[in-house]
Chain A
Amino acid sequence: MASGRDDFVIAFRSAFLKKKDKQKFSLLSLILLSIIVIILSNINFKPIQLMKIGINEIIYRFSFIISTPENYLKNFTLKINEHKNLFENYKNIKSELKNLKEEQITNNFLKLENEKLRNLINENINSDEILAKVLIDRESPFLKSIILNKGTKDKVKMGMGILDGVYLVGQIIEVNYTNSRALLLSDLNSKIPSVLAPQNIQAVISGTGKNYGIIEHTKDDIEEELKDKYAIIYTSGLGGLFKPGIPIGKISKDTNNKVEFFSDFTQLDYVKIISFTFGDKK
């Protein structure tokens, strides 16, 4: 019994402390270093934060270069799929275009009316846009985020919204000097105050870690209310980060109360980083 325990202790000590073969560092020292790095990286101390930004800058650039072959393969796969579905897509787009043209006429009037009403209550929303390229879109199963090629030097700030066309796709959670990281709406940690139209229900859209979102912090009987109905989800503007009315996704009976995002997060290439100022401020 005692010898068995001795064997365990010897094997354990040998595994952790001895520098074997060509190893320059013992495992224990590196494990301790990892723990120190974890603690240091989360201390809000300027030199450490600057070092972290420097590491991020270098690694993001390298990652962008090394990902080039995989991105090429990805684009190639997409192009083949697009060609295969070309005729089917053409038919769908044709009918959609007809509907959209009809809707546009009504929308133009509503837009004008909306602007007039906003002016009446002296509510102006100004926005600043920065066009950014997606450097890395590594959608890890644990964290859904993208790296953009704009940072503090381009006046990017924490919390700014990310748009793909007119659709909201996420918000900035980390800013470095020349690049930044945006958390996608599909991430578990993403929570966006929203409104469901035309029902006018306030809710929070939360990511699930998958390619759909869920409705949270809303009416208890929402499932009943949305049963077999179609709803579009827009930002509500609560929280003051985003203006109201940015489209996020939709719910239909086919999606089973799951929020289907308008934008495909695996296809992001260029996005807009956007900030809003409310009132008379420019």
Chain B
Amino acid sequence: MASLNKSTFVRAFASYLPFIILFISVFNEFDFNYLKIENFSFNFVYILVFYWTLRNPESLGYLSIFLAGIVNDVVIGTPIGISSLCYLILCAVTAYIRNITLSPNFVKDWFSLLFTMVLINSIQVIILDLIFLIEISYISYIVNTGFTFLFYPAFFLMFNVLSQIIYQKKHD
């Protein structure tokens, strides 16, 4: 009985892992600023949302992504709603890719992420710079996009392992 309860708990926990990681990352906003590496930043949330909504859309609800965006805006201090809009545009692109793709291809996905990030960062820059008149560093956006693109394969492998664990647990 105890082992049955334990396995149910582990299964439930595993299926909520992408959701938990998403909220920890927006509340915590991994920045590695204490490492004092100049011109280094990457957007972990973009990678997370892109991977899970593309490969396992049932693991992350759009509403939770919307709420994560609100949290992210409050934590970093940008006008509320901007990150939600960006994350949801990312979801729209992944939903579109899923609809037009029969067999997933990693390289195509990887470059789609780059294209999407350029699109959503452009939207973010337009809203912040031109509408809210908040001065922003274009270089920071380019660096952030570049490192996010470069780190995607590493996180892709990690999330693949996690995904296998989740689905193994679900099918057990």
A interface, CB within 8 angstroms of B: 7, 10-12, 14-16, 20-27, 30-31, 33-38, 41-42, 52, 55-56, 59-60, 62-63, 66-67, 70, 74, 77-78, 136, 138-143, 145, 174, 181, 188-189, 208-211, 266
Contacts and interface: CB of A to CB of B under 8 A. Distances in A.
Nearest to B61: A23
B100 A11 contact: yes
Interface of B: 24, 27-31, 33-36, 38, 41, 57-58, 61-63, 66, 69-71, 74-82, 84-85, 88-89, 91-92, 95-96, 98-100, 127-128, 132, 134-137, 140-141, 143-144
B13 to A, nearest CB: 17
A175 to B, nearest CB: 13
Contacts of B137: 141-142, 188, 208-209
A74 B34 contact: yes
Contacts of A7: 100
Contacts of A10: 99
B71 to A, nearest CB: 6
A138 B85 contact: no
27 contacts: A11-B99, A23-B57, A27-B62, A30-B63, A30-B84, A31-B85, A33-B84, A34-B88, A36-B81, A37-B81, A38-B80, A41-B79, A41-B81, A60-B74, A66-B27, A67-B27, A138-B75, A139-B31, A139-B33, A140-B41, A141-B31, A141-B137, A142-B140, A145-B77, A181-B77, A188-B137, A189-B135
Nearest to A190: B135
Contact of B96 (A11, A22, A209): A11
| Residues of A contacting B: mostly | helix
A6 B26 CA distance: 38
Given A67-B27, A142-B141, A136 B63 contact: no
A11 B102 CA distance: 12
Contact of B28 (A36, A42, A56, A63): A63
Given A42-B132, A70-B28, A211-B38, A37 B96 contact: no
B28 A66 contact: yes
A211 B40 CA distance: 13
A78 B34 contact: yes
A77 B135 CA distance: 32
A120 to B, nearest CB: 42
Contacts of B41: 140-141
A31 B88 CA distance: 6
Contacts of A26: 62
Nearest to B101: A11
Nearest to A56: B74
Contacts of A62: 27, 71
A67 B25 CA distance: 10
A25 B61 CA distance: 9
Given A25-B62, A27-B62, A140 B76 contact: yes
Given A15-B99, A139-B31, 13 more contacts: A11-B100, A15-B96, A26-B62, A34-B82, A38-B82, A59-B27, A59-B71, A60-B74, A66-B27, A138-B31, A142-B137, A209-B137, A266-B34
- Most chain B beta carbons < 10 A, residue from A27, A188, A266: A27
Nearest to B91: A27
A20 B61 CA distance: 10
Contact of A142 (B66, B74, B136): B136
Given A30-B63, A63-B27, A140-B31, A209 B140 contact: yes
A74 B159 CA distance: 26
A16 B57 contact: no
A188 B77 CA distance: 14
A37 B38 contact: no
B33 A143 contact: no
